[in-house]
Structure 1
Amino acid sequence: MTKFLGGLNCTLRKLLFGAISTRPIPQHIAFIMDGNRRFAKKWKLTEDGGHKAGFLALMLVLKYCCEIGVKYVTVYAFSLDNFNRRPDEVQYVMELMQEKKLV
C-alpha cells in the first residue's frame, strides 16, 4: 500500500502541476470525491481502505494547492445519499473527516 501511495503522490503532483504550470494559478479549485469503494474493489482493499486512500489522496492534493498558491478549495466529499449506506461505513467516513479536521 505504501508503494502505491508513493506512486499516487508523484502522479497527482505531476498532473496538478502540469495542468496549471502554463496558466495563471486559479484562486479557487473544487474537487468531487467519488469512487473510493470502486477503487477498493479494484485494488482488493476493504471499503474502509478505499475511503482512507481517497482521503490521503485529498490531503496530498490540498497540500499541493497550498504550495502553488490556490486560495480557496471546495471539497464535495459526502452527499445526502451517502447516509443511506451501512451505518458502520458512514461512521468510518465521518471519523476520517474528523481526524483530518484535527490535523
Structure 2
Amino acid sequence: MHKDTGGITSNLLGGLSNCLRRCIFGILSMGPMPHHIAFIMDGNRRFAKKSNLAEGIGHKAGFPSLISMLRYCYELGVKYVTVYAFSIDNFKRKPNEVQSLMELM
C-alpha cells in the first residue's frame, strides 16, 4: 500500500523554513537595521517571456514575493519602505496589461 507522504514532506519543509527564517532574523537583528528600504519591481515581464509564460503571469508571480518582503521588513522593524512598481512609461503598454497591473496593486 502506497502512503501519501506529500503532506509529511510539506510540513517538514515548512517547519525547517520557519526555523531557518527565525535564525536569519536573529542574526540580522543583531546589526544596525536600516530605517528605509526601497524595492524596484523590474524584470517580471522579461522573466515571463523567457519562461514562455502567458502575459501577466510574471507580474502575478512577483506580487507575492513583494508581499513576503514587506512582511519581513515589518518583522525586522524597518520603518519606511518604498516600492517603485510602475513608471509613467508603463502607460504606453497595452491597456489590458496596464489594467491588470493596477488590479494587482
TM-score (normalizing by structure 2): 0.70
Alignment of 1:37 onto 2:45: yes
Root mean square deviation, CA, Å: 2.8
CA–CA distance in structure 1, aligned partners of residues 77 and 51 of structure 2: 33
CA contact (8 A) 2:39 2:83 kept: yes
Structure 1 residue runs of 4+, over 4 Å off? 19-22
Preserved CA contact (<8 Å) 2:34 2:78: yes
Matched, 1:52 2:60: yes
SS at match of 1:47: coil
Instruction: Give TM-score, length-normalised by structure 1.
Output: 0.72
Unaligned runs of 5+ in 1: 1-5, 98-103
Name stretches of at least 5 consecutive residues in structure 2 with no aligned partner: 1-13
Query: Number of residues paired by the alignment?
Result: 87
- Structure having the higher helix fraction is 1
Corresponding residue for residue 75 of structure 1: 83
Larger Rg: 1 or 2? 2
